[in-house]
Amino acid sequence: MLVVAVAMALSGSPAADLRVTVWPQGRAGPAHMSVLHCPSVEAACRKLGAVPGNPFAPTPAGIACTQIYGGPEVALVVGRFRGRPVWARFHRRDGCGIARWNRVAFLFAK
């Protein structure tokens, strides 16, 4: 654990082991997958470490979301982040989904 903490401090990135799958045209279309292992010197690791709070938290219950459609894109992030399991779906079907997507959009770039 100390090694991970030291590596994180040196690299400026969080401990993460994530598999990211994106369907740019929705689930019926083709998918692309990437893997992110942090700590690393990758820009995505540094950006992920800079996101405040839990970047994979769902939209809280009871939140009113604007009915703005952002596109058919969907994504699934699975793995571990800061020692905790991650299983998070992302979409752009409404304002809340668009905001969540935009917060970690760097993970979805090809």
Residue pair 75/97 in contact (Cβ under 8 Å)? The answer is no
Identify the pLDDT of residue 1.
35
55 within some domain: no
Q: Decide if pLDDT at 5 tops 70.
A: no
19 within some domain: yes
What is the C-alpha separation between 27 and 75, in angstroms, rounded?
9
E strand segments, the chain: 16-23, 32-38, 74-81, 84-91
Q: Tell me the CA distances in angstroms from 43 to 12, 14, 36, 106, one per residue in order.
A: 10, 12, 11, 9
60 within some domain: no
Identify the pLDDT of residue 76.
98
Identify the pLDDT of residue 8.
40
Range of the domain at 30: 2-50+68-107
Q: Decide if pLDDT at 6 tops 70.
A: no
Q: What is the pTM of this model?
A: 0.85
57 within some domain: no
What average pLDDT does the segment 83-102 reach? Answer: 97
Q: How many domains does the chain have?
A: 1
Tell me, what CATH number does 9's domain have? 3.30.350
